[in-house]
Amino acid sequence: MNIKFDEKYIKNFDEAVKIEWLETNKLGAYSSSTIFGLNSRKEHGLFVVPTSNPLKKINLLAKFEETVFVKDFSFELSSNQYENSIYPNGYKYLKGFSLNPFPTFHYEISDRKIDKSIILLHDRNLLIVRYELKNNGHPVKLIIKPIIAARYSDDLVKDIQGINPDSYMDENVVKIAPKSDLPEINLSYQKGEYTPAALWYHNFYYKNEFTNAVPASKNKEDLLNPGFFTYTLHPYDSFEIYVSLDQWYGTDYEYLLRKEKEYRKNIDKKLKKLPVFIQNVSKKLETIPLFKDQVNFSCLPDYHTAQCNIRNSILAMNDSLIVQKKENKINKFIENCLIKLKNGLLPEDKKSTGKAQNCCVDTSLQLINLGYLAYRFYKNSEFLEKNIFDPFVAIIESFRKGTDFNTYMDKDGLIFTGDKNTNTSFIPILNESGHVIRYGKLLEVNIFWLNALYIMRFFSKELNKSRMEKKFNKLIENTSTNFIEKFWDERNHRLYDLVRDKINDATFRINQIYALSLPFQILEKEKGKQLLYSIKNELLTSYGLRSLSNKDVNYVGESVTNSGSQDSSKFEGAVWPSSVSDFIIACVNYGDINAESVELAKLIENFEQLFNQNCLGYLPEYLDGDKPHNANGSAASIVNMLSIFKASFYFYKSKNKNKLNITA
C-alpha cells in the first residue's frame, strides 16, 4: 500500500487530523493514531495487545513524546489534544506522512529532515519505532519519552493511585510494570541512554469520543512518563526502540524490516488480476486475527471498538473464509455457534438499549445459510449429516412450534416475532417512548426463513431423507405463496417492511436486498427486476446501499454525532458498505449483468478512494447517506473489508465469462 499526504494537505490541520492509520498483526495486537501522532480516540495507542477475552485489549504504550535539539534550540515533535487547545505544536514541523508500507512521519526542523517510522511485525508482538536523520548538516539530539497508558483500550486512567511509576534496567532493556494485573512493557535499545524520571501528564482529551450524551470530562485521562531516552543523531544515522511483552535482544533491524516488507508484498497469485487496492485489502485481512482457534469463535474484531456480534461474524464467514477455502475453520465456527443455540436462537451480543430487549432472531437462520454455502463449496456430506443437519432441523422446529421473544410460525407459514417491548431485528427502531416499532412479520426474518426452508429441502434430498424432503416441500408451498401474497406491494413494485394485523408498512429499507441476493430466489424474475430498479433508484450510492430510502420522511442524510459514536442515522439512511456484495449478487440474479458490468466495476473501484481516507487502508462501519458520505461508526469495519473483497474477487474473476457464480 502506497499512500502519501504532502505538506499542502497537512497544513489543513482540522481536516488532516481526521485521518487515522492502523497497523494490526495476526496475534491481535495493533498500533494506531492520527497522521500527526495525536491520539484522538481512547483506543488509539502505539502498542495495544490482546487478552484472552476477545472483547478486551490492553493499551500499554499510548505514544512517544519527542523533543529535538538543533544547535541548542529545542523543538517538540509531538502534539496532544486538550479540551481547549493542541499542545505541543509539533504538527507544524510535519511536512509529509506516508504509508509505504509502514506509517512514516516526515519532519523538517531548522533544515534538519527527520523520519519516524513505525513497524508492527505481523507474526509477533513486537513494535519497532525508528528515528532517522535524512540529510547532511548538524547532528540533532533526541529526547524520547514513553507515555504509558496501562489500561484496557475502552477505558481511561482516572486515578493515578496504585500505579507503579518506576522503570527498571536490564542490559539495554527498560522494564515497566505499572500494574500487577497487566503485562510488563519492555523497551529495548542498542545505543543511547535511558534515564528514569517519573512524571505525570494530565488531562489528555479524546475529541472523537465526545457525544452530547457524554460530558467532555469523561474523555480525559492522566498518563505516566516513567523516564526518557537520549541519543544524538548524526547525518543518515538512526535510533530504534523495540517495544515488546518480553525481553527482545535482537539487533538486526534491517533483517526484520526486509522480512516484513517481503511478507507485505507477497500477494496470492489468484489475486494478481484484481485491482491493486483489492490486493492490499487481502493483505490487510491476513494480519487480522479472524476467528482464532484459542478465542471465542463468535467474535469478529472491529477497530477501534470492542464489539462482538455473532450475526456479523456469520456474514463475515460468508464473505471471506469460504473464498479463502478454510474448511476446518468454518466448520469449527458453525459447531461453536450450534453450541450457543438456545431454543433455536443464537444470543445477541449487544446490550439492550432503552426499554426494549434485543435478540436478532434471524441469526440462526443466517447460520443455516452459511452451512449451505459451506456445503456447496466443500461437498462435505459427512459433516452435513453428522454435525449440522439435525441441529438445523431443530432450529426450524423451534420457529415452527414457537420460541422465545414471541417468535412463532403463523398458520400462513410466515414468522411473527417480537412485540412493542422486544426488538428481534438487526434494525432496532424505537419510538420516542422507547417502544419497538418494527415487530410482527418482519421482511428480513421471513426472507431468511423461506431461504432456510429451501436449504433444508435441498439438504434432505442430498442425504436421501425423503420424508424430511416432503415435509419441507409442504412448508415451502404454504410459506412461499403467502409470502408473495402478503409482502408484495403491487403499487410500489417492492416488498412491505413488515406485516402486522391490518398494517402493511411500506417503509423501504436495506433489508429488501436479501430477497434478491440469497441462494434461493424467492421472487419471480419480473418482480425481482422491479425491486432491483427501486433499490438502484432510492438506496444505491457510490459506496453501497442506504439503510433507508432517501425519499422517506424519516430519512437522515447526515450523522448527528461525531465520528466514533453510533447514532440513529445508521438505520435511518446511512450507507452500509457491507451491502456491496449483496447488491452485486442481486444484479447477477435479476439484472442484465453484461449491460451492468461497467457500472458494477465502477462501484467497486469507488472504494479505492475510500480506502485512502479516514482510517487508511480500511473501511468505516457506515457513512452518511448524503454526499460527501462522511465516515462514521467504527473506524475499521472488518465486515465491510470482507464484503468488498468478496465482491471484487468474484466480479473480476468472472466478468469475462458472462456469468458470475457467487452463491454456489
**Rounded mean pLDDT, 98-102:** 93
Greater confidence, 496 or 566?
496
For cell 441441529, what's the residue?
A: 391
Tell me the pLDDT of the chain averaged across its residues. Answer: 88
Rounded to whole angstroms, the Cα distance separating 552 from 560 reads 18
Encode pLDDT of 347-362 as tens digits: 875 443 444 457 899 9
User: Going by DSSP bridges, is the β-strand pair 112-120/415-416 parallel, antiparallel, or unpaired?
Assistant: unpaired
Can you give the pLDDT at residue 657? 53
Can you give the pLDDT at residue 301? 63
Greater confidence, 291 or 244?
244
For residue 337, give every residue at least 6 positions away whose Cβ sits within 8 Å of its Cβ, in sequence order, or none.
Answer: 297, 298, 310, 314, 346, 367
For the chain, give the percent of residues with pLDDT over 90: 64
User: Going by DSSP bridges, is the β-strand pair 193-205/103-109 parallel, antiparallel, or unpaired?
Assistant: unpaired
CA 594-595-597 angle, to 5 degrees, is: 65
Q: Is the pLDDT of residue 522 over 70?
A: yes
Encode pLDDT of 383-397 as tens digits: 999 999 999 999 999
CATH code for the domain defined by 3-265: 2.70.98
Can you give the pLDDT at residue 306? 60
Listed by start position, the domains of the chain span 3-265, 278-299+522-664, 341-507
Contact 321/290 with Cβ under 8 angstroms? Answer: yes
Rounded to whole angstroms, the Cα distance separating 19 from 65 reads 20
Does domain 341-507 sit in CATH 1.50.10.10? yes
**Rounded mean pLDDT, 458-480:** 97
**Rounded mean pLDDT, 164-186:** 92
Encode pLDDT of 209-259 as tens digits: 644 445 666 789 999 999 999 999 999 999 999 999 987 766 688 999 999
Global pTM value? 0.89
Burial 345-372 (b: 16+ CB within 10 A, else e): bbebbeeeeeebbbbbbbbbbbbbbbbb
Can you give the pLDDT at residue 249? 66
For the chain, give the percent of residues with pLDDT over 70: 90
Can you give the pLDDT at residue 185? 96
For residue 311, give every residue at least 6 positions away whose Cβ sits within 8 Å of its Cβ, in sequence order, or none.
Answer: 346, 348, 360, 362, 363, 366, 426
Contact 135/115 with Cβ under 8 angstroms? Answer: no
Q: Is the pLDDT of residue 108 over 80?
A: yes
Can you give the pLDDT at residue 333? 87
Can you give the pLDDT at residue 268? 77
Q: Is the pLDDT of residue 660 over 60?
A: no
Rounded to whole angstroms, the Cα distance separating 58 from 637 reads 20
**Rounded mean pLDDT, 577-593:** 88
Encode pLDDT of 591-644 as tens digits: 876 777 888 888 888 998 898 889 999 999 999 999 999 998 888 988 898 889
